[in-house]
Chain A
Amino acid sequence: MVEKADQVFVLLQHWLISFLPVLLQPAAAVLLGVIAIVCVFPGLFALTTIFERKGLGRIQNRIGPNRVGPLGLFQPVADGIKSLTKEDIIPLSADGVLHFLAPVILVVAVFMGFAVLPMGRNMVLVDMDAGLIFFFAMSASTELSVFMAGWSSRNKYSLLGAMRAIAQMISYEIILLLSSVAVVMTAGSLSLVKIVDAQNHSTGVLPNWYIFTPWGLAAFVMYAIAATAETNRSPFDLPEGESELVAGYHTEYSGFKFALFFLGEYLAMFSISGLGTTLFLGGWSAPFSFLTWIPSWIWFFGKVMISIFVFIWMRGTLPRLRQDQLMNFAWKFALPFTLLDLLVTALWRFMGEGWLRWVVSTVILAGAYVLMGRVGMYRGHFAPRKYRYAE
């Protein structure tokens, strides 16, 4: 019974394709998986918009939208209807083809990233040997669409927003990749299914998730910061800060194309959270062995939704970082720390089991963090700003 609940979608897929001739069955299986992804994740997107608005409202001492439907739960429907029926304005001097293609390429590239995430036991669309690189390749393609959007609008503010967004994305992509490399080093494979399998068993009380190791925690924190920056999410949302550049690179978009950008951003948030849970939080595995009766896909989506709540929480808490503060942070703090973390992962791997490797790793990482923090504060990088004349 537990087994059936866990594999319910796989069994459903097998039953549906059994109606087709054998020749068409592999294609139909993949097609069913694609349809499932295309239906589930935009549905989650609609739910997330309402959670975000209400959650941010509660954090800011107010109620979110509560007029459309009970507790405002049909607000995404109203938003969808609004964005579909708005007039699609294209500036006269805009580059028509690029202007049209930019949101399309963004959404396509982001959807492709979902193909390698294992969403449950046996529930991955394509089990690729180099799955992690595929994921990062797709997220690198989104940068190109950001540039196309900014350039084709023929608006210098859009272009400025696009350049800032791309600079931010390529800086933090390095940190994203390096923190994932730590996990790859330990799991020994680039395939996401194998990475989840390596974390699936639990020894002792804590499960074998990589976040419960010193290097894993450090890598997870760096991954989380880089993920927030990659998806242009607060506090790194200077490219789309409403008070800075109107809407940055998607200023000149209205109606459905803007909704596509919005969809693309939230889907990127989902897929990066999905990758984060796969790499560090054990994917679809349950934390304690007595909880394995809960189906694996519930664990995966639960962990992804918790990551989304943390994203919303950070958005409600932190002010926006300025572009140079953002870049300083990436190149002067996050990158050295991530490289050190790679070193510590290697140490961990080759030191053998026991308490010694825990102590050494923790001491090196904590010491480096405190040292870099103090040096940064002493030099004035991270401290509250001192004003020479206004004291």
Chain B
Amino acid sequence: MLGEGILKGMAETAKNFAGSFVSAERLTTVQYPEQRIPTMENARVFPFLVYDGPDWQAGLRCVACQICEKECPPKCIYIEKSTGKKPDYVGKQQFYPAKFDIDIAVCMSCQICVEVCPFEAIKMDTQFELATDDRFGGLLLDREQLAKSNEYYHSIHPNEATEVDGRLAEEKAKVEAKAKAAAEAAAAKAAAVAAPAAKPERGQA
């Protein structure tokens, strides 16, 4: 019948109006900035550098391999290698970045830098309230601003961080096992070198 649709529509909006006072389903507003929607696990905004341990300079995972700089589509990363080396999480001596700048005004949050990093050193942060009134350097983050601890990484992406930690622990365990095997082989070799060293003396005389 004519007009039926209108009445049904008005009933629906009346339900919306009345329901918005009682149920959260009918009033989905989150009053920002007093309330915030909890961010999802996979949220990503801009990258940051992960460091292990208390000292950010000593524990920085980045080895300045410059892969992320080359892969970044808008070229917002700028890296300068250091001259000396420092030990990384397995103990091997690696370079480290003397300068690591990301221009977050240019970054497009594509996460390619995270995907190509072989050292799990750069990950995506979830902070978005980064507005600043400094036009010339406010959105250019340097190494110190980018370095955040592994505990922070756990707090924003718990599942991912545990996975990464598992992988790194595996790597470390493999390296240690290899080192132990190499040490045993070296010890065996040293013993074998010492024993045949006595034999050629008898053969010669």
Contacts and interface: CB of A to CB of B under 8 A. Distances in A.
* Chains A, B in direct contact (C-beta < 8 Å): yes
Interface of A: 55, 58-63, 66, 313-314, 316-318, 369-370, 372-374, 376-377, 382
Interface residues of B, number: 18
Contacts of A61: 16, 20, 26-29
Contact of A62 (B1, B9, B13, B29): B29
9 contacts: A58-B20, A60-B16, A66-B31, A313-B10, A313-B14, A317-B9, A317-B13, A370-B1, A373-B2
A377 B2 contact: yes
A164 B9 CA distance: 27
Contact of B2 (A60, A316, A318, A382): A382
Q: Which of B1, B16, B17, B29 neighbours the largest number of chain A CB atoms within 10 Å of its CB?
A: B17
Given A58-B27, A61-B28, A373-B3, A318 B9 contact: yes
B37 interface: no
Contacts of B3: 373
B27 A372 contact: no
Contacts of A376: 2
Contacts of A316: 13, 17
B75 to A, nearest CB: 40
Given A373-B1, A374-B2, A376-B2, 12 more contacts: A55-B17, A60-B16, A61-B26, A61-B27, A61-B29, A62-B27, A63-B27, A313-B13, A313-B14, A317-B13, A318-B6, A370-B2
Contacts of A370: 1-2
A332 to B, nearest CB: 12
A185 B29 CA distance: 51
A15 B50 CA distance: 81
A135 B76 CA distance: 69
A59 B16 contact: yes
Contacts of A369: 2
A318 B12 CA distance: 11
A372 B2 contact: yes
Q: Which of A59, A313, A382 neighbours the largest number of chain B CB atoms within 10 Å of its CB?
A: A59
Contacts of B27: 58, 61-63
B16 A314 contact: no
A383 B21 CA distance: 35
A44 to B, nearest CB: 21
B167 to A, nearest CB: 44
Given A372-B2, A376-B2, A59 B29 contact: no
B8 to A, nearest CB: 10
B48 to A, nearest CB: 33
B22 to A, nearest CB: 11
A58 B28 CA distance: 10
Nearest to A235: B6
Contacts of A374: 2
Contacts of A60: 16
A80 to B, nearest CB: 25
Contacts of B10: 313-314, 317
B65 to A, nearest CB: 49
A62 B31 CA distance: 10
8 interchain residue pairs of minimum CB distance: A373-B2, A58-B20, A317-B13, A317-B9, A59-B13, A62-B29, A58-B17, A63-B29
Nearest to B12: A317
A61 to B, nearest CB: 5
A273 to B, nearest CB: 18
A318 B1 CA distance: 17
Contacts of A59: 13, 16-17, 20
A317 B1 contact: no
B85 to A, nearest CB: 56
A376 B1 CA distance: 10
Q: Which of A60, A316, A317 neighbours the largest number of chain B CB atoms within 10 Å of its CB?
A: A317
Nearest to A55: B17
B13 A63 contact: no
Interface string B10-49: 1011101100110000111101000000000000000000
A377 B3 CA distance: 11
Nearest to B18: A58
B158 to A, nearest CB: 32
Contact of A317 (B6, B20, B26, B29): B6
B34 to A, nearest CB: 11
A282 B7 CA distance: 25
A240 B2 CA distance: 27
B9 A63 contact: no
Nearest to A384: B5
B135 to A, nearest CB: 27
B31 to A, nearest CB: 7
A317 B15 CA distance: 11
A58 B6 contact: no
A107 B145 CA distance: 60
A314 B3 CA distance: 13
A55 B6 CA distance: 18
Contacts of B29: 61-63
A373 B3 CA distance: 9
A372 B31 CA distance: 48
B196 to A, nearest CB: 86
Contacts of A318: 6, 9
A57 B10 CA distance: 15
